Amino acid sequence: MIRIEHLGIAVKDLGISVPLYEQLLNTPCYKKEVVETEGVSTAFFRTGESKIELLEATNENSPIAKFINKKGEGIHHVAFEVENIEAEMKRLAALGFELLNETPKNGADNKLVCFLHPKTTNGVLIELCQEKK
């Protein structure tokens, strides 16, 4: 079974965006985390069975900084939770989807992650994620 795990939203400043989303969603941010390898600071909110992840660049060369410079703040990706990320990566690659990483990477919120190139997913950056065991 695949379900929407979270929506990733690129923001310029978590200091401004976290209080805004706390008000908007009427719930506190439950976790903040830095993922050094991706050059990103994150903040998470629970919304029912899914989450919202705010992403702020920690340096000008991070993918989030490049995204914001090109497109501005807004929805960055849709993350789908999978039971076996390696099997899903193989399945999707065999179907012609372009994977942005060959093996799962460590992501925020105790997840293994893999991204699919938007050119093979109708312009949407897709993240596959699996809870680390």
- Confidence tier at 68 by pLDDT (50, 70, 90): very high
Strand bridging mode 31-35 / 3-10: unpaired
pLDDT at 111 over 70: yes
* The pLDDT of residue 133: 84
User: pTM (2 decimals)?
Assistant: 0.92
The string of DSSP codes covering 75-128 is EEEEEEE-S-HHHHHHHHHHTTPPBS-SS-EEETTTEEEEEE-GGGTTT--EEE
Q: Determine how many CB atoms are found less than 10 A away from the CB of residue 39.
A: 19
Interval 35-48: pLDDT, tens: 999 999 999 999 99
CA angle 62, 17, 44 (to 5 degrees): 75
